[in-house]
Amino acid sequence: MTPAPQMLPQQPEGPADPVPAHEALLREIAEDARREPERYLADSLVPNGGE
């Protein structure tokens, strides 16, 4: 059985402007978001949602 885990110390604050360091990732996300967004929205509908 697992004991309560030891929490990792929080990493230092991220860079004040994280955009330049991760421009490639942000470009990838921006492109992905523009790829058939209507289909993504339709394919994830939960018309009879839960509690």
Q: Which residues bind another protein (CB under 8 A)?
A: 1-8, 10-11, 13-14, 16, 18-19, 22, 25-26, 28-30, 32-34, 37-51
Instruction: State how far the Cα of 39 lies from the Cα of 4, in Å rounded to an integer.
Output: 42
Q: How far is the CB of 31 from another protein (least distance, A)?
A: 9
Q: How far is the CB of 45 from another protein (least distance, A)?
A: 5
Residue 29 structure tokens: 């996300």
User: Distances in Å between the alpha carbon of 11 and those of 8, 14, 49?
Assistant: 8, 8, 37
Q: Which one-letter amino acid corresponds to residue 27?
A: R
Q: How far is the CB of 15 from another protein (least distance, A)?
A: 9
